[in-house]
């Protein structure tokens, strides 16, 4: 794959509107395990809230989907693959994003701490990205917050 094609694919998967009109994949292999993703998401979304017994299952699924998304993105970024393989990976990433979006929009979950932790993690990832993009990865005065020190 040529570098400009790689950049096109990476831009496509990071676009906020990438999931518009995209279907959740029927079946996908996540962390080496095949999952009927579409039926899982629809089963969970039918409920207004996540019952306590299902909460761990949903959180585990979201965590595994995020991990799988990252691994597929890294393949596009780092591996020598064909453009066709890159397109297939990008399409699967957008499908994963669609499933994650659907799972994130579920009714209120009793674990407010989980939402707060996710928001904090998202904020840290965003700040790290901005620092890297602006070339301030090591020169910012708040670098202690990323190293796990402090509180």
In sequence order, what are the beta bridge partners of 34?
A: 29
Higher pLDDT, 85 or 139: 85
pLDDT at 143 over 60: no
Domain termination site, one of 84, 106, 128: 106
pLDDT tens digits, one per residue of 94-134: 999 999 988 887 755 445 666 777 788 888 889 988 888 88
Strand-pair category, 33-35 with 28-30: antiparallel
Are 66 and 96 part of one and the same domain?
yes
What is the residue range of 97's domain? 3-106
* pTM (predicted TM-score): 0.64
65: Cβ contacts below 8 Å, ≥ 6 apart: 30, 96, 99, 100, 103
* Residues 77 and 130 both lie in one domain: no
In a domain, residue 18? The reply is yes
Q: In terms of domains, do 121 and 81 share one?
A: no
Q: Strand runs (DSSP E) across the chain, as ranges?
A: 28-30, 33-35
Question: How far is the first Cα of the chain from the last one, in angstroms, to the nearest whole number?
Answer: 44
- Find all residues with CB under 8 Å of 28, minimum gap 6, and list them: 34, 35, 37, 68, 92, 95, 96
Domain count, the chain: 2
Which DSSP state fits 2? -
Place of tokens 């066709």: 84
pLDDT at 147 over 60: no
Are 50 and 123 contained in the same domain? no
- Residue 141: predicted pLDDT: 47
> Same structural domain for residues 79 and 129?
no
Q: Are residues 56 and 13 in the same domain?
A: yes
Examine residue 148 and state whether it is found in any structural domain, yes or no.
no
Query: pLDDT tier at 44 (50, 70, 90 boundaries)?
Result: confident
Same domain, 98 and 24: yes
Other C-beta atoms closer than 10 Å to the C-beta of 17 total 7
Look at 19 and 58; give whichever has higher pLDDT. 58
pLDDT at 113: 61
Residue 102 belongs to some domain of the structure: yes
Residue 53 is predicted with a pLDDT of 74
Q: 92 and 31, same structural domain?
A: yes
Question: Are residues 20 and 74 located together in one domain of the fold?
Answer: yes
Q: Up-side HSE of residue 52: CA atoms within 13 Å toward CB? A: 0
């Amino acid at each position: 794959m040529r570098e400009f094609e790689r950049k096109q694919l990476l831009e496509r998967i990071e676009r906020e509107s990438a999931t518009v009109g995209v279907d959740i994949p029927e079946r996908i292999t996540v962390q080496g395990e095949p999952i009927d993703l579409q039926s899982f998401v629809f089963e969970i979304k039918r409920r207004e809230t996540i019952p306590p017994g299902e909460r761990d299952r949903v959180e585990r699924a979201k965590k595994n989907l995020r991990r799988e998304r990252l691994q597929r993105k890294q393949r596009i970024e780092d591996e020598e693959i064909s453009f066709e393989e890159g397109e297939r990976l990008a399409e699967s990433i957008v499908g994963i994003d669609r499933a994650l979006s659907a799972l994130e929009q579920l009714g209120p979950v009793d674990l407010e701490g989980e939402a707060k932790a996710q928001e904090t993690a998202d904020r840290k990832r965003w700040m790290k990205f901005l620092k890297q993009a602006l070339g301030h990865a090591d020169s910012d005065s708040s670098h202690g917050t990323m190293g796990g020190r402090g509180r």
